Structure 1
Amino acid sequence: MKNRILYAFIAVLFIGVNAGAQTGAPKIGFTSTEYILSLLPAAKEIQKELSDYNDQLSAQMKAKEKTFQEKFAAYQQTANTMTELIKKDKERELQSLEASLRQFQQDAQTSFADKQQKLLEPLLEEIRVAIQKVAEENNFTHILNSSTGGLDVLLYAKEEYDVSNLVLAKLGVQPPSTNN
C-alpha cells in the first residue's frame, strides 16, 4: 500500500515537472495603464467632462462660502447691538451654514470620485481586455502594471517586454514614436 502511494506521488510529481517543462519559463511583460490611458482620445473626453464637473462643484462651493462669509461679517458687525436671543439665533444659523458647507464639501468629493469611477470603468475594462489579448497573442504568462497611482512598481525590466504600444495598437491608437 505504501508503495502505491509513493508511486502515485512520483507520477504526479513527474507529470507536474513534465508539464512545466513543456510550457517553458514564464514570459512576463509590462505596461503602464496610466500611459495608455493618457493617449486614448476617450480619456481626454472624460478628463474634460470631469474638469467641467469639478468647475461646477467648485463654483457652487464658492457661492456657499461667500454666503457664509457675508453672514459671518454681518454678524460680527452687529453682534454688539443684538439681544442675547437674536445673537444665539444668528450663531445657530452660522453653525448650521458652516456644517452645511463642510457636508457639501464631503459630498462633492464623493460625487466627483463616483463620477470619475463611473466614467473610467468602461475604458479601464477596454484596456484590460486589450492587455489580455496582447498577452495571449504574444504568449505572455503575466503582464505587470509598471506604475500604480504614480508609484513605480516595476523597478527593472527590459524594454523589449514593454507591451504598451501593442496594447495601444490593439485599442486602435497610433503609439508615439518613442515610448514613455
Structure 2
Amino acid sequence: MRKTGLILSVLVLFASLTYAQPKIGYVDSDAIMKQLPDAQDTQKKLDAMIKEWQEELNKMEKDWKTKYEDYEKRKLILSEQKRVEIEKELVGLEDQVSKYRQDKFGVRGELFQKQEELMKPIQNRIFTAIQEIAKENEYDFIFDRSGDIIFLYAKEEYDVTNLVLEKLK
C-alpha cells in the first residue's frame, strides 16, 4: 500500500511538472539605451570625442593629400635626393595617419576603451534591473531581442522593457 501511494505521489508530481509552462519575457535593450538619460548623456560624450578625433584625422589626411599633390606637381623638377626625402616624409605622414586611425578607432583603440569604461556602469544597472524584475515577476527566461537572439514572433505581453525603464527611474 505504501509503495503504491509513493508511486502515485511521484507520478502526480511529475505530471504536474510536465504541465508547468516556463514564463518567458524579453527586453529591447536598444530601446532602453535610447530612453535612458544616462545612456543618452554618455552617447553624447562619445559622439563629441568621435567628432573631435574625426576632425583631427581629416586634417591629417588633408595635410598629407596637399603635400602629395604638391609633390606630384613638382617631382619632375626635383633632384633625386629631394624626391627621396619628400617620399620618405609622405610615407611617414601616411604612417602617422594610419597609426592615429588605429589608436583612436581600431579594435582595441581609445574609442572602444572609452565605450567600455563609460557604458559598463549603465549596462550593469540595466542587467541588475532585469534580474530583479525576473525574480519579482517569476520569469524563467528573459531574452534581449536587440542582440544575437532574434525573435520572429513574440507576444507583447511578455515584453518587460517598460518595467526595466520604470525600475531604472
- Tell me whether the two structures share a fold, i.e. TM-score over 0.5: yes
Q: Answer whether contact 2:24 2:141 (CA < 8 A) is retained.
A: yes
For the 8 Å contact 1:145–1:154, the answer to whether it is kept is: no
TM-score, normalised relative to structure 1: 0.79
Alignment match, 1:176: none
Gaps of 5+ in 1: 1-10, 173-180
Equivalent residue runs for 1:51-90 within 5 Å: 51-90=47-86
Q: Residue 21 of structure 1: CA displacement?
A: 2.0
Q: Which runs of 5+ in 2 are unaligned?
A: 1-6
Match of 1:163 among 156, 160, 165: 160
- Between the two proteins, the alignment pairs up a number of residues equal to 157
- Taking the aligned partners of 2:70 and 2:95, their CA distance within structure 1 comes to 18
CA RMSD of aligned residues (A): 2.3
| Separation in structure 2 between the aligned mates of residue 44 and residue 57 of structure 1, nearest angstrom | 20
Query: What residue number does 2:4 align with?
Result: none
- Answer whether contact 1:46 1:120 (CA < 8 A) is retained: yes
TM-score by length of 2: 0.84
Is 1:145 the counterpart of 2:144 in the alignment? yes
Q: What pairs with 1:1-180 in structure 2 (closer than 5 Å)?
A: 18=14, 21=17, 24-109=20-105, 110-148=109-147, 153-172=150-169
- Measure the CA separation in 2 of the matches of 1:53 and 1:117: 14
Which region of structure 1 is more displaced relative to structure 2, 33-42 or 96-105? 96-105
Which amino acid counterpart does residue 138 of structure 1 have in structure 2?
A: N
